[in-house]
Amino acid sequence: MANTTPPLPYIVIDFDSTFTQVEALDELADIALRGRPEREQVVAQIKALTDGGMDGSVSFSESLRRRIELLPARHEHLHELVQHLHTKVTESIRRNQAFFQQHADRVYIVSSGFREFIEPVVAEFGIPPEQVLANTFTFDAEGRITGFDPNNPLSQDGGKIRQLHLLGLDDAPVYVLGDGITDYQIREAGLAARFYAFTENVARPAVVAQADEVVPSFDEFLYQNKLPMTLSYPKNRIRALLLENIEPTAERLFREEGYQVEVVPGGLDEEELMERVEGVSILGIRSKTQVTARVLERANRLIAVGAFCIGTNQIDLLGCMQRGIAVFNAPFSNTRSVVELALGEIIALARRLPVKSEQMHRGVWDKSARGAFEIRGKKLGIVGYGNIGSQLSVVAEAVGMQVLYYDIAEKLQLGNATKCRTLEELLRQADIVTLHVDGRRENTNLIGAAEFALMKPGALFLNNARGHVVDIEALADALRSGHLGGASVDVFPYEPKTNDEPFESPLRGLPNVLLTPHVGGSTAEAQRNIAEFVPERIMGYVNTGNTLQSVNLPNIQLPPQQQAHRLIHIHHNVPGVLAHINNVLAAHAVNILGQYLKTNEHIGYVITDVNREYDQEVIKALRQVEQTIKFRVLY
């Protein structure tokens, strides 16, 4: 049977600000004028003429002539320019180098730039000299650039149109990618089926307005036209929504990855988040925003949720798991900051600094040691001996405290810490009690009136864990009665969603009480660490399928892909699914290069690396495997 597959389109690509990130003549001027006092002024003039020629406000031929007149370049400068341009190839072009090398016969570089620097740059991508259409320089006897060949159509207005006429590409559609008005004119003249305004490097409004399509990357162009691409999905189509003043490093990392990023300063309530989450691929939150079942119902494209904090009780983890949405948090990134805050609070309360400071602000000089004590030798009771509790144990012991701890899980004590068998045992002995438990529902009101009654008279109490683990009214009563000598609270059952909302609590106005607005991890170091850690985990999952350190999906650390396509399959954990997947692969004669599986009680996670050559029908068949939750292909 004859092959009826239609030929690939011809792709005509501009060079400056499209194939490369820069305008080469601007860069050449910068090189040639290095060390000269007029450098900045002349380069600015050349750039202005470049922009005028690209957006159509100056005729192209005039723009080119005047730029060359201003250019004091020599032949030897071109070598340096070429080396520089090799480092300035557009990122999405570089990423898809294999496409160019495989389909070089369908690609033409049509540029009003110059062959002397274009040819050696595009040659790396397999594009032969005969498919580079560009101007050429003229030189004098000393090697100075004096001008350009005036007979070359590309030095004249409408030159790209004449070159396309001469090429006679009429056996397949012609698609033009570029950033300038001269690229659009090819389409306007009827010599191309479509004009794509390429905006990865520069977006010119006058050009964008004329385009059939606007593409922010070469990946997007390939994706729209169902052409082979390096990525599975254009990164510019991945939308990230970041809430609650997440440290700007996270936004920068996501943008550098090519994602669209929207930042909202405060938290969102359920209804607001339901409106905003549609079409979002990555959701970043801290502790205020609740990711509920109703929110997840509207999250039609959600791939991952990043909790830029330690706790994840604000997220419906099971609901995310059942939809194949990975959740990542930062269990270690702010540990030190919380530990240092707790130690500072202990010292401040022991020395009654909140009371002394308040008196001084009222003009009262009360130089008295009444009620103040050193923490050395005192018993610190740590409830919850996880990452924070155990590190606080070490620091507290280093300043001379005796450490007691209680945890429902078996934990190995550090240093000379003493394990308590029950919470009651710890509360009766400790001079200072500090909470570092997680936010699971079972911990609600873990500490209430009965627990406060067990504590020593005059004991100090700290909560830097979760607001709902303490009965706030009971704590206020214990402080008012004088049974407790002081308290420090950083977390509350209800917390304002933004800084503009007032804070209400029965603890306000009580003596020797430190109240802070959930700032345990709010240090520059901790927030930067979190803002680096969580995006790295999410991008690793999106790009490779790695679920290492996900809090809700089976954890698999995958090897790098080696000349393979990676099939990611998340399914309900019922017998026979893996066999069904492998039967589909076998039926389509797919060569499996590696396969990885891990399950939990709810879902199974199967990753299969396969040879790149396979029938696309296999993808459709895998999506239709019974019990499939989510399926995607990485390449």
Catalytic residues: 466, 495, 518
Closest CA to 68 of 156, 147, 157, 163: 147
Q: Are 595 and 630 in contact (CB under 8 A)?
A: no
The full DSSP string for 430-492 is -SEEEE-----GGGTTSB-HHHHHHSPTTEEEEE-S-GGGB-HHHHHHHHHTTSEEEEEE---
Q: How far apart are CA 274 and CA 298, in angstroms?
A: 6
Q: Which residue type is seen at 63? A: S
419 backbone dihedrals φ, ψ, rounded to 5°:
-85, 135
Q: How far apart are CA 435 and CA 420, in angstroms?
A: 14
Closest CA to 472 of 438, 498, 511, 446: 446
Q: Are 521 and 570 in contact (CB under 8 A)?
A: no
Q: Which residues contact 166 (CB under 8 A, 6 or more apart)?
A: 153
The radius of gyration computed from the CA coordinates of the chain, to the nearest angstrom, equals: 32
Q: Which residues contact 601 (CB under 8 A, 6 or more apart)?
A: 573
Helix (H) or strand (E) holding 606: strand 603-610
Q: Which two tokens stand for residue 583?
A: 């039967």
Q: Are 26 and 43 in contact (CB under 8 A)?
A: yes
Look at the alpha carbons of 104, 105, 109, 114 in this order and tell me if their dihedral is positive or negative.
positive
Q: What is the distance of C-alpha 253 from the center of its chain?
A: 5
Q: Which residues contact 131 (CB under 8 A, 6 or more apart)?
A: 104, 105, 107, 108, 109
Q: Give the CA dihedral 59, 170, 178, 542, nearest 10 degrees.
A: 170
In eight-state DSSP terms, residue 112 is E
Strands 239-242, 260-263: pairing is: parallel
Q: Are 144 and 68 in contact (CB under 8 A)?
A: no
**CA separation, residue 498 to residues 265, 422, 503 (Å):** 8, 39, 10
